[in-house]
Amino acid sequence: MTETTTVESIEAPDASSIISAISKGDNIGAGLSFEDIMAAKKQHALELRKQDFASTLFNKSVEEPAVEEE
């Protein structure tokens, strides 16, 4: 049984929101926009890693340990 999952697109502000805030002298707003962008990128990467891990979790072949003979 194969299960297909999709990662939802995460809406994040683009770099233009940072540039706009800096041009207005709003350093706090620029910092918050930057943090939002980084959080969205981190969340997206985490979701992709979860999917990758879940798809390989039970598909690995189990190798029995080698028994040494004397």
Q: Could you report the per-residue pLDDT of 17-66, keeping only the tens digit for each?
A: 999 999 999 999 999 999 999 999 999 999 999 999 988 887 766 566 77
Q: What is the structure's pLDDT at 1?
A: 43
Q: How far apart are CA 15 and CA 13, in angstroms?
A: 7
3-state secondary structure of 46: helix
Q: What is the structure's pLDDT at 61?
A: 63
Q: How far is CA 62 from the centre of its chain?
A: 28
